[in-house]
Amino acid sequence: MLPTSCLCTQLRRASRGVTRLYDDALAAVGLGVAQFSLLRHVQRLGQPSISVLAEAMGLDRSTLGRNLRVLEEQRLLQLGEGRDLRAREVRLTEAGLQRIQQGLPLWEQAQRELNAQLGEERRAELMKLLEELA
Protein backbone atom coordinates (compact mmCIF):
# COMPACT_ATOMS: atom_id res chain seq x y z
CA MET A 1 0.00 0.00 0.00
CA LEU A 2 1.32 3.42 -0.89
CA PRO A 3 1.92 5.68 2.08
CA THR A 4 -0.25 8.77 2.18
CA SER A 5 -0.81 11.84 4.30
CA CYS A 6 -4.34 12.24 2.93
CA LEU A 7 -6.86 11.90 5.74
CA CYS A 8 -9.63 10.90 3.34
CA THR A 9 -7.55 8.09 1.84
CA GLN A 10 -6.56 6.76 5.25
CA LEU A 11 -10.15 6.86 6.52
CA ARG A 12 -11.38 5.04 3.42
CA ARG A 13 -8.68 2.38 3.79
CA ALA A 14 -9.54 1.91 7.46
CA SER A 15 -13.23 1.76 6.63
CA ARG A 16 -12.66 -0.95 4.02
CA GLY A 17 -10.58 -2.98 6.48
CA VAL A 18 -13.17 -2.73 9.24
CA THR A 19 -15.99 -3.49 6.81
CA ARG A 20 -14.11 -6.58 5.62
CA LEU A 21 -13.82 -7.84 9.22
CA TYR A 22 -17.58 -7.53 9.79
CA ASP A 23 -18.50 -8.81 6.32
CA ASP A 24 -16.36 -11.91 6.87
CA ALA A 25 -18.00 -12.50 10.25
CA LEU A 26 -21.54 -12.11 8.88
CA ALA A 27 -20.96 -14.13 5.69
CA ALA A 28 -22.11 -17.26 7.52
CA VAL A 29 -25.66 -15.84 7.62
CA GLY A 30 -25.57 -14.43 4.10
CA LEU A 31 -25.37 -10.76 5.05
CA GLY A 32 -22.87 -7.96 4.72
CA VAL A 33 -22.40 -5.44 7.48
CA ALA A 34 -24.38 -2.78 5.55
CA GLN A 35 -27.37 -5.12 5.29
CA PHE A 36 -27.07 -6.21 8.90
CA SER A 37 -26.86 -2.60 10.03
CA LEU A 38 -29.96 -1.72 8.03
CA LEU A 39 -31.91 -4.60 9.59
CA ARG A 40 -30.77 -3.58 13.08
CA HIS A 41 -31.79 0.03 12.50
CA VAL A 42 -35.27 -1.09 11.44
CA GLN A 43 -35.45 -3.33 14.51
CA ARG A 44 -34.46 -0.50 16.85
CA LEU A 45 -36.75 2.06 15.21
CA GLY A 46 -39.82 -0.19 15.06
CA GLN A 47 -41.57 0.50 11.75
CA PRO A 48 -39.85 3.64 10.48
CA SER A 49 -40.70 5.54 7.35
CA ILE A 50 -38.03 5.49 4.68
CA SER A 51 -37.21 9.13 5.49
CA VAL A 52 -36.77 8.44 9.22
CA LEU A 53 -34.62 5.39 8.46
CA ALA A 54 -32.46 7.33 5.98
CA GLU A 55 -31.94 10.09 8.55
CA ALA A 56 -31.05 7.61 11.31
CA MET A 57 -28.52 5.84 9.08
CA GLY A 58 -27.05 8.99 7.52
CA LEU A 59 -27.95 7.83 4.01
CA ASP A 60 -29.77 9.57 1.18
CA ARG A 61 -33.15 8.10 0.28
CA SER A 62 -32.04 6.76 -3.12
CA THR A 63 -29.10 4.81 -1.65
CA LEU A 64 -31.32 3.48 1.11
CA GLY A 65 -34.00 2.54 -1.42
CA ARG A 66 -31.58 0.35 -3.37
CA ASN A 67 -30.48 -1.40 -0.17
CA LEU A 68 -34.08 -1.89 0.94
CA ARG A 69 -35.04 -3.53 -2.36
CA VAL A 70 -32.29 -6.15 -1.93
CA LEU A 71 -33.52 -7.07 1.55
CA GLU A 72 -37.13 -6.98 0.41
CA GLU A 73 -36.30 -9.44 -2.40
CA GLN A 74 -34.79 -11.73 0.22
CA ARG A 75 -38.04 -11.37 2.20
CA LEU A 76 -36.21 -9.96 5.22
CA LEU A 77 -38.12 -6.66 5.05
CA GLN A 78 -41.50 -5.47 3.84
CA LEU A 79 -42.29 -2.02 2.52
CA GLY A 80 -45.83 -0.97 3.21
CA GLU A 81 -48.09 2.03 3.40
CA GLY A 82 -47.40 4.29 6.34
CA ARG A 83 -49.70 6.41 8.45
CA ASP A 84 -49.40 9.09 5.79
CA LEU A 85 -50.08 8.06 2.18
CA ARG A 86 -46.89 9.85 1.06
CA ALA A 87 -44.65 7.85 3.42
CA ARG A 88 -43.84 4.15 3.19
CA GLU A 89 -43.02 2.16 6.29
CA VAL A 90 -40.28 -0.42 6.57
CA ARG A 91 -41.11 -3.55 8.55
CA LEU A 92 -39.01 -6.53 9.56
CA THR A 93 -40.38 -9.90 8.55
CA GLU A 94 -40.08 -12.97 10.74
CA ALA A 95 -37.24 -14.11 8.46
CA GLY A 96 -35.52 -10.76 8.96
CA LEU A 97 -35.80 -11.03 12.72
CA GLN A 98 -34.39 -14.55 12.60
CA ARG A 99 -31.48 -13.40 10.45
CA ILE A 100 -30.69 -10.67 12.99
CA GLN A 101 -30.74 -13.22 15.78
CA GLN A 102 -28.38 -15.49 13.80
CA GLY A 103 -26.04 -12.64 12.93
CA LEU A 104 -25.90 -10.87 16.27
CA PRO A 105 -23.40 -13.25 17.93
CA LEU A 106 -21.18 -13.04 14.83
CA TRP A 107 -21.34 -9.24 14.85
CA GLU A 108 -20.58 -9.20 18.60
CA GLN A 109 -17.52 -11.41 18.03
CA ALA A 110 -16.23 -9.00 15.36
CA GLN A 111 -16.81 -6.13 17.81
CA ARG A 112 -14.80 -7.92 20.50
CA GLU A 113 -11.94 -8.60 18.07
CA LEU A 114 -11.75 -4.98 16.96
CA ASN A 115 -12.04 -3.69 20.54
CA ALA A 116 -9.26 -6.02 21.66
CA GLN A 117 -7.06 -4.88 18.77
CA LEU A 118 -7.51 -1.23 19.70
CA GLY A 119 -7.71 -1.43 23.48
CA GLU A 120 -10.31 0.48 25.49
CA GLU A 121 -8.51 3.81 25.63
CA ARG A 122 -7.73 3.99 21.91
CA ARG A 123 -11.23 2.75 21.07
CA ALA A 124 -12.81 5.54 23.16
CA GLU A 125 -10.51 8.11 21.54
CA LEU A 126 -11.34 6.83 18.05
CA MET A 127 -15.09 6.91 18.77
CA LYS A 128 -14.80 10.51 19.94
CA LEU A 129 -12.86 11.54 16.83
CA LEU A 130 -15.28 9.77 14.51
CA GLU A 131 -18.26 11.44 16.16
CA GLU A 132 -16.62 14.83 15.61
CA LEU A 133 -16.01 14.04 11.95
CA ALA A 134 -19.55 12.74 11.38
Residue 105 lies in a domain: yes
Cβ–Cβ < 8 Å for 105, 64: no
pLDDT, position 86: 66
Check which CATH number belongs to the domain holding 89 and give it: 1.10.10.10
pLDDT digits (tens, 9 = 90+) for 120-129: 999 999 999 9
pLDDT, position 33: 96
Q: What share of the chain is helix, strand, coil (3-state, %, to 5)?
A: 70, 10, 20
Cα separation of 75 and 123, whole Å? Answer: 36
What is the SS3 assignment for 128?
helix
Cβ–Cβ < 8 Å for 47, 90: yes
Q: Which residues of the chain have pLDDT under 70?
A: 84-86
Residue 95 lies in a domain: yes
pLDDT, position 1: 82
Range of the domain at 52: 42-110
Instruction: Give how many domains the chain has, as a whole number.
Output: 1
pLDDT digits (tens, 9 = 90+) for 51-65: 999 999 999 988 999
Beta-carbon contacts of 38 under 8 Å, excluding residues fewer than 6 positions away, are 53, 57, 64, 67, 68, 71
% of the chain beyond a pLDDT of 90:
86
Residue 9 lies in a domain: no
Residue 48 lies in a domain: yes
